[in-house]
Amino acid sequence: MRQFQQVWDKAQPYVDAERFAAVQNKLRSQSGNAVLWKDACLLYFQQFSHMPIPATVEPPMHTLEAVIANDSPPRPPRQPRQP
């Protein structure tokens, strides 16, 4: 669990249940996305540098292939507003 989630958990007695659950769900989603992006960045650049990931860095939880395979399709370009 990330530190910001622990801080939010301590706020539970001071926040209504609906708001607490909504924020908690968003924090979990953001945490998962952060791990995914961290893995993608580390592994993408590692394929060019051929250097090991330092022991001080949290190791990837995913493979680069898994990140690419689960990537959402690009959004269509926005259409300009008509006057």
Chain centroid to CA 50: how far? 24
| pLDDT tens column, 4-27 | 888 999 999 999 999 999 999 999
Give the predicted TM-score (pTM) of the model: 0.68
- Cα gap 38→49, rounded to integer Å: 16
For residue 44, name the pLDDT band (cuts at 50, 70, 90): very high
Would you say 43 and 60 are in contact if contact means Cβ atoms under 8 Å apart? yes
Q: Distances from the Cα of 30 to the Cαs of 19, 26, 71, in angstroms? A: 16, 6, 16
User: In whole angstroms, what is the distance from residue 63 CA to residue 73 CA?
Assistant: 19
pLDDT at 72: 66
